[in-house]
Amino acid sequence: MAALASWERFHGAEIPWYSYLIIVALTFVVACCLAWLQEQTKLAAVAASRAILDVDDPYCVTHHGVDDGSWEIQIINKGAPARHVHLQLRNINPRPNSEYWTSDYPYSVIQAGRTLGSNDCHINKGESATFEITKIWNGAHDTGFLCALDTKRIGQLQIKINHGEDWIMQYEITAENCDLVPFSLRMRANAGGIVFERIK
Instruction: Give the pLDDT confidence score for residue 37 in this predicted structure.
Output: 72
- Burial zone of 183 (CB within 10 Å; 0-12 exposed, 13-18 middle, 19+ buried): middle
Kindly report the number of other CB atoms within 10 A of residue 94's CB atom: 9
> Which of 17-26, 150-159, 172-181 has the highest average model confidence (pLDDT)?
172-181
* Topology adopted by domain 53-199: Immunoglobulin-like (2.60.40)
Residue bearing the bigger pLDDT, 64 or 164: 164
Residues 76/137, Cβ–Cβ less than 8 Å = no
- Extents of the domains making up the chain: 2-48, 53-199
3-state secondary structure 40-56: HHHHHHHHHCCCCEEEC
Residue 175 has pLDDT above 60, yes or no: yes
User: pLDDT, tens digit, for every residue of 37-80?
Assistant: 766 555 455 555 799 999 999 999 987 655 568 899 999 999 99
d(C-alpha 197, C-alpha 15), whole Å: 76
d(C-alpha 200, C-alpha 198), whole Å: 6
Mean of the per-residue pLDDT values of the chain: 81
Instruction: Give the pLDDT confidence score for residue 85 in this predicted structure.
Output: 96
Instruction: Give the pLDDT confidence score for residue 43 in this predicted structure.
Output: 47
Least confident of 22-31, 57-66, 98-107, 173-182: 22-31
User: pLDDT, tens digit, for every residue of 144-161?
Assistant: 677 678 888 766 567 888
User: pLDDT, tens digit, for every residue of 108-136?
Assistant: 999 998 888 888 999 999 999 999 998 88
Residue 192 has pLDDT above 80, yes or no: no
> What DSSP designation does 15 have?
P
Instruction: Give the pLDDT confidence score for residue 105 in this predicted structure.
Output: 95
